[in-house]
Structure 1
Amino acid sequence: MKLGVYNAILHDRPLRAALDVIASCGLEGIEVNSGGFLPPVHIPDIAEIAVDRDAARRYLAQFDGTGVTLAGLNCNGNPLHPNPVIGEKHAEDIRTSIRAAEALGQNRVVTMSGLPGGEPGATRPNWIVNAWNSAALDVLDHQWEVAAPFWAEIDALAGNHGVKVALELHPQNLVFNARDVRKLVDLIGARNIGVELDASHLFWQQADPIAVARDLGPLVYHAAAKDVRINHEHARLNGVLDNGFRRLREDEDRTNLGGDEWANEWPKDSSWDFVALGKGHDVDYWAEFIAALQDIDPDMWLNIEHEDVELGRVEGLEIAAEVLLEANARNGR
């Protein structure tokens, strides 16, 4: 298994410094954010790279002698957002990322399936969590009608550029579990759309990433290593679908998600938290997870995503890397 880091946690420093951190952790790849919710900090010339092979060569030259290689592009966003300021921008970022991936010799672009509004004319996305009533199924029917032509277009574009698009199974998206991946693939006859298996979002939904990997098999193109800790004293009261978030003020440090949408503050009494590897599931679990991925593709990238707010940027990567390297060693790699 090839091990690397998703670079968002290292956006506070230049690319070369980020590569030095990754190499010091004993890892060999960097998955670079290329648009969507976050700006492409470490690949600011992505639009030029997508159309100019010389620009691509200049970019790749920055990796020479670092011991770290490019390990895919990540363009997570909402390309189906009904507000065109967000949706059309994120959709175009995906198209640009696919073209840039080919120019850079990459064959994986990570993104999300997106989430439309609930009806024609809607201005905000509508996530149906539990469609127990007929009106909710009406919403889903509309959303799939919006999603199908877009993803059919992206599937064709990816095929033309030798790229596989890996959808993160992320809640607040139309596709967030194994059933819906298969629904999308079957609906549009996709040949180049599959999954980025981020274990963390499956954990908190009470799904088993290993079972999902074995069920989806070759539809798993790419993977992310991020852990979750269930805080049982709060989860037993509020469950894992917990809306105890706080809206951050304009004068507070906050992350823009496009247009006038912002990330909220995490609940203080959260039912679950993203944590570094080992704080939610032990090395044995991660070794079994790696084994399941290796059975699908031994050359797949498994990249650490660090969102543990209890740990510093580099500290969290070091702790996660130690667990992941030991787990990988148990599988003979």
Structure 2
Amino acid sequence: MRLGLYDAILRDRPLEEAIDVVAANGLTGIELNTGGFLPAVHVPTMDDVLVSDTARDDFLGIFEGTGVGIAGLNTNGNPLHPNPEVGDRHAGDVRRSIQLAERLGQHRVVTMSGLPGSEPGTRYPTWVVNAWHPESREVLDHQWSVAATFWRETDRFARDHDVKVALELHPQNVVFNSADVHKLIDLTGATNVGVELDASHLFWQQMDPVAVVRHLGELVFHAAAKDVRVNRSRAELNGVLDNNGFFGEVWGNGWPKQASWDFVALGKGHDVAYWTEFLRALHEVDPEMMVNIEHEDNELGSEEGVSVAAKVLVAADRALQESLTEPV
């Protein structure tokens, strides 16, 4: 497997320093944020790279001799947001990231499927958690129509640029589980839209990431290594959809202190043996798949958290490789 780090947690430092952190932890790739919810701080010359071979070569030269390469681009956002000030910008970031990937010799762009509003003309996205009422079905029909149109067009665009778009199965998006993936592919006939398998969001929804990988198979294009710890005493009272304690901007590392579940570094929710089987399932799909750590553990600082997670992921990969070479 190809092990790396998503750069969001190191966005407060220059790219060169972020690369040093990746290399120091035995990883070989860095997934670069290129828009969406977060700015493209590690690709400040994006506009130039898109049109200038010299700018492109200068940017790629930063990686030479480091032992670290680009491990995909990430533009997580809401390209279907009903407010065009948000939706159009995030959709544009997805397209620019696809173009940038081609320029940089990359073939994976990670994003989210997006979430429209409940009907035309609304300003805020609406997530239907459980469509038990007929009105909710009407909302979903509208949202899937918007999503199918956007992703049908984006799939063609990605195919033209030899890029595959990997959707993170993130709640508060139209596509957040296996059934949704199949529905999107059926509606669009997409060939270059698939999944970024981030285990963390599956854990707290009570899904099995290993089973999902084996179920989706070649629709899994990319993977994120992030763990979850369910706090049983709180989850037993409030469930995993609890909104208590949220305030302000939540992306980054903001999180309620009394949460039903938390994002944690690898090993704090599931042990090395589990992550070995996660990597095994991904290896069955693609032995060269990029698996990038995403650090959002509030109990650990940025470099400490990356180090904790990297030790577990590297150990899991070592165990996988040893098991693959054992005599039958």
Q: 1:246 to 1:332 in 2, by over 3 A?
A: closer
Find the counterpart in structure 2 of residue 251 from structure 1. Answer: none
The answer to whether structure 1 residue 192 and structure 2 residue 192 are counterparts is yes
Q: CA deviation at 1:50?
A: 2.3
Give structure 2 stretches of 5+ with no counterpart.
323-328
The answer to whether structure 1 residue 48 and structure 2 residue 48 are counterparts is yes
Helix, strand or coil: the match of 2:262? Answer: strand
Superposed CA deviations along residues 163-221 of structure 1, whole A, max 9, x for unmatched, are 00000000000000010011001101001000000000000100000000000000000
Q: CA deviation at 1:152?
A: 0.8
Helix, strand or coil: the match of 1:214? Answer: helix
Find the counterpart in structure 1 of residue 295 from structure 2. Answer: 306
Helix, strand or coil: the match of 1:332? Answer: helix
Distance in 1 (alpha carbons) for counterparts of 2:260 and 2:77: 25
Superposed, 1:168-317 pairs within 5 Å as 168-248=168-248, 265-317=254-306
Letter in 2 for 1:158: A
Number of aligned pairs? 322
Which of 312, 319, 322 aligns to 1:330? It is 319
Letter in 1 for 2:128: I
Distance in 1 (alpha carbons) for counterparts of 2:228 and 2:121: 37
Letter in 1 for 2:255: W
Distance in 2 (alpha carbons) for counterparts of 1:122 and 1:128: 15
TM-score between both structures, scaled by the size of structure 1: 0.95
Helix, strand or coil: the match of 1:331? Answer: helix
Superposed CA deviations along residues 121-164 of structure 1, whole A, max 9, x for unmatched, are 11000000000111101000000111111111110000000000
Distance in 2 (alpha carbons) for counterparts of 1:81 and 1:129: 17
Given that 2:197 and 2:213 are in contact with CA atoms closer than 8 Å, whether structure 1 keeps it comes out as yes
Given that 1:224 and 1:302 are in contact with CA atoms closer than 8 Å, whether structure 2 keeps it comes out as yes
Distance in 2 (alpha carbons) for counterparts of 1:18 and 1:266: 24
Given that 2:213 and 2:281 are in contact with CA atoms closer than 8 Å, whether structure 1 keeps it comes out as yes
Helix, strand or coil: the match of 1:293? Answer: helix
Distance in 2 (alpha carbons) for counterparts of 1:54 and 1:143: 42
Given that 2:253 and 2:296 are in contact with CA atoms closer than 8 Å, whether structure 1 keeps it comes out as no
Give structure 1 stretches of 5+ with no counterpart.
249-253, 258-262
Superposed CA deviations along residues 238-289 of structure 1, whole A, max 9, x for unmatched, are 00001113323xxxxx57x7xxxxx795222100000000000000000000
Helix, strand or coil: the match of 2:147? Answer: helix
Letter in 2 for 1:159: R
Superposed CA deviations along residues 77-103 of structure 1, whole A, max 9, x for unmatched, are 000000111000000000000000000
Find the counterpart in structure 2 of residue 260 from structure 1. Answer: none
Given that 1:247 and 1:264 are in contact with CA atoms closer than 8 Å, whether structure 2 keeps it comes out as no
TM-score between both structures, scaled by the size of structure 2: 0.96
What's the RMSD between the two structures over aligned residues?
Answer: 1.3
Find the counterpart in structure 2 of residue 87 from structure 1. Answer: 87
Q: CA deviation at 1:64?
A: 0.8
Distance in 2 (alpha carbons) for counterparts of 1:180 and 1:328: 30
Superposed, 1:14-163 pairs within 5 Å as 14-163=14-163
Distance in 2 (alpha carbons) for counterparts of 1:306 and 1:223: 14
Find the counterpart in structure 1 of residue 326 from structure 2. Answer: none
Distance in 1 (alpha carbons) for counterparts of 2:189 and 2:246: 41
Q: CA deviation at 1:52?
A: 2.6
Helix, strand or coil: the match of 1:234? Answer: helix
Given that 1:228 and 1:272 are in contact with CA atoms closer than 8 Å, whether structure 2 keeps it comes out as yes
Distance in 1 (alpha carbons) for counterparts of 2:106 and 2:9: 22
Q: 1:264 to 1:200 in 2, by over 3 A?
A: closer
Q: CA deviation at 1:313?
A: 0.3
Query: What percent of counterpart residues are identical?
Result: 62
Distance in 1 (alpha carbons) for counterparts of 2:153 and 2:27: 35
Distance in 1 (alpha carbons) for counterparts of 2:145 and 2:297: 37
Distance in 2 (alpha carbons) for counterparts of 1:264 and 1:200: 14
Letter in 1 for 2:244: G
Letter in 1 for 2:118: G
Helix, strand or coil: the match of 2:300? Answer: coil
Given that 2:253 and 2:297 are in contact with CA atoms closer than 8 Å, whether structure 1 keeps it comes out as no
Q: CA deviation at 1:12?
A: 1.0
